């Protein structure tokens, strides 16, 4: 691990170790990938003011999110099928997050179930909910998250229907799944470390769903059921319903417009995540970083504003905080680490970003996260 110095190094190792179908699933975005690229490009356009001769000996990366202390302004974002990047991937990622002192978010579409993760980690984690047409199933999922002592519910609101990812269709990640194509089997066999981890893992299906519905046990039937569950009628009233049955902290993920942010304030949720789903949904939407300042202004202190989309370095975290984010979710950056080396790979990703953030703060003359503001950004 010592020659790994940046997230791109982890990405390259992930690409070598994990079959193409699963690497492409992580790396790509929807349609022409305009928004995926904009997320990165617009972050890189933000330049810092280099400050000198400030005492930067007391730098501290800790902060709070929803009243809880975190060691870094980072949260692991919900990522579906994490357990196909590495056997028991969700457990590895959650353990690395907890060791680093930051929250981990388990996706509804995880491979390990809520119960699998809860039984194998020390502390509570966050649970992300997709609202499906079968509201009884949603309610049961929320009850399972309560029973597992999940400490926040992240309600994702930007996926009422799916943006197309061309590579997934070509690779057989479709409904029904066509993974057993000859070229995929050859690829799986040529990745023995990955394959043995997957075969030893607790699950190779969507663990929160398989076995919890009559007649939906194998991957094909579970995928078909999920595909039938997208709810085009989902609206703000459903958020009220979720609010009424989830007693804990509620976070709305996928807010990308000032009007929606104002509406989000009225729901009683404690936080929102400015997100375009990592460029995987509405292609042609502006970058997340470009909409963040207006949303942060509109919300003020009434909700905490979290951010994701394109974070690949500590410099990017600094940029998002300077533009109004309280903390940043990362998706691909930690999944590259997971694919490259399981729990140790995720820990490496977090360490890389933390060190980059610490140095960037120092060179901008800042000691604490709450000192990061517009003053660290160079004009023009």
Q: List active site positions.
A: 277
Does residue 128 interact with ligand FNR by CB under 6 A?
yes
Q: In this chain, which of 88, 308, 316, 356 binds ligand FNR, going by CB under 6 A?
A: 308
Ranges within 6-65 binding ligand FNR (CB under 6 A) = 25-26, 39
The phi-psi region of residue 103 (left if phi > 0; otherwise alpha if psi is between -120 and 50; otherwise beta) is beta
Give me 208's structure tokens: 């929160």
- Cα distances from 197 to residues 87, 89, 121, 165, in angstroms, run 4, 9, 19, 26
Residues between 245 and 274 with contacts to ligand FNR, criterion CB under 6 A? 253
Report the run of H or E that residue 329 belongs to, with start and end. Answer: strand 327-330
Please state, in angstroms and rounded to a whole number, the distance separating the CA atoms of residues 17 and 42: 30
The length of the chain, given as a count of residues: 380
Please select the residue that binds ligand FNR; options are 19, 73, 78, 314, rule is CB under 6 A. 78
Q: How many residues bind ligand FNR (CB under 6 A)?
A: 25
Contact segment (CB under 6 A) with ligand FNR among 60-68, 112-120, 298-306, 330-338 equals: 330-338
* CB 280 within 8 Å of CB 29: yes
Among the listed ranges 77-85, 186-194, 226-234, 350-358, the one in contact with ligand FNR (CB under 6 A) is: 77-85
For 343, the token pair is 């729990």
Q: Nearest distance from residue 137's CB to ligand FNR, in Å? A: 16
Q: Which is closer to ligand FNR, CB of 63 or CB of 108? A: 108
8 A C-beta contact, residue 338 and residue 92: yes
Pairing of strands 63-65, 68-70: antiparallel
Give dist(CA 81, CA 5) in Å, integer: 26
Burial class (CB in 10 A: 0-12, 13-18, 19+), 109: middle
Choosing from 109, 179, 219, 265, the residue that interacts with ligand FNR (CB under 6 A) is 109
- Residue nearest ligand FNR, Cβ-based: 331
Residues 202 and 116 sit within 8 Å (Cβ to Cβ): yes
Closest approach of ligand FNR to the CB of residue 336, in Å = 9
Q: Which residues ranging from 131 to 190 are in contact with ligand FNR (CB under 6 A)?
A: 156
Tell me the three state secondary structure of residue 284.
coil
330 binds ligand FNR (CB under 6 A): yes
d(CA 73, CA 79): 19
**Of positions 30, 70, 107, 205, contacts ligand FNR by CB under 6 A:** 107
Look at the block and give the residue holding tokens 């007649």: 215
* Residue whose CB is less far from ligand FNR, 307 or 366: 307
All residues at 6 or more sequence positions from 200 whose CB lies less than 8 Å from its CB, including other chains: 87, 88
96/330 with CB nearer ligand FNR: 330
Cβ proximity to ligand FNR: between 209 and 311 the closer is 311
Query: How far apart (Å, rounded) are the C-alpha atoms in residues 322 and 352?
Result: 20
- In whole angstroms, the minimum distance from the beta carbon of 334 to ligand FNR comes to 8
Q: How far is the CB of 56 from ligand FNR (least distance, A)?
A: 28
Using CB under 6 A, pick the residue from 75, 79, 142, 255 that binds ligand FNR. Answer: 79
Candidate list 73, 163, 201, 278; residue touching ligand FNR; CB under 6 A: 278
Strand partners, 368: 60
- Choose, by CB under 6 A, the member of 103, 201, 207, 309 that binds ligand FNR: 309
Binding span for ligand FNR by CB under 6 A among 112-120, 201-209, 213-221, 276-284: 276-284
**How large is the angle between the packed helices 34-45 and 288-299, nearest 10 degrees?**
70
Please give the residue ranges that form the binding site for ligand FNR (CB under 6 A).
25-26, 39, 77-80, 107, 109, 128, 156, 253, 275, 277-278, 280, 308-311, 329-333
């Amino acid at each position: 691990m010592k020659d790994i110095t940046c997230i791109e190094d982890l990405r390259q190792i992930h690409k070598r170790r994990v079959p193409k179908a699963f690497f492409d699933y992580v790396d790509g975005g929807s349609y022409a990938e305009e928004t995926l690229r904009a997320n990165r490009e617009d972050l890189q356009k933000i330049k810092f003011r280099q400050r000198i001769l400030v005492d930067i000996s007391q730098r501290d990366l800790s902060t709070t999110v929803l009243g809880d202390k975190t060691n870094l302004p980072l949260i692991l974002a919900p990522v579906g099928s994490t357990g196909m990047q590495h056997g028991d991937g969700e457990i590895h990622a959650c353990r690395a997050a907890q060791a680093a002192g930051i929250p981990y978010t388990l996706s509804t579409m995880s491979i390990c179930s809520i119960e699998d993760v809860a039984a194998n980690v020390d502390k509570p984690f966050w649970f992300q909910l997709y609202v499906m047409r079968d509201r009884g199933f949603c309610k049961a999922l929320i009850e399972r998250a309560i029973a597992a002592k999940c400490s926040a519910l992240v309600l994702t609101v930007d996926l009422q229907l799916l943006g197309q990812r061309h590579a997934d269709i070509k690779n057989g990640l479709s409904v029904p799944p066509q993974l057993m194509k000859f070229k995929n089997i050859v690829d799986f066999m040529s990745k023995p470390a990955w394959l043995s981890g997957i075969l030893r893992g607790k699950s190779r299906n969507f663990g929160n769903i398989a076995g919890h519905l009559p007649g939906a046990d194998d991957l094909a039937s579970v995928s078909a059921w999920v595909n039938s569950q997208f709810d085009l009628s989902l609206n703000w009233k459903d958020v009220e319903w979720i609010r009424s049955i989830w007693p804990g902290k509620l976070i709305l993920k996928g807010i990308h417009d000032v009007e929606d942010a104002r509406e989000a304030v009225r729901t009683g949720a404690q936080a929102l995540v400015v997100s375009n789903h990592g460029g995987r949904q509405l292609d042609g939407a502006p970058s997340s970083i470009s909409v963040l300042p207006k949303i942060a202004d509109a919300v003020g202190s009434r909700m905490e504003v979290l951010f994701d989309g394109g974070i690949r370095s500590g410099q990017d975290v600094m940029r998002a905080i300077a533009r109004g984010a309280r903390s940043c979710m990362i998706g691909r950056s930690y999944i590259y680490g997971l694919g490259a080396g399981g729990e140790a790979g995720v820990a490496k990703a977090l360490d890389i970003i933390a060190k980059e953030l610490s140095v960037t703060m120092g060179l901008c003359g800042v000691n604490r996260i709450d000192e990061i503001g517009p003053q660290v950004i160079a004009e023009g």
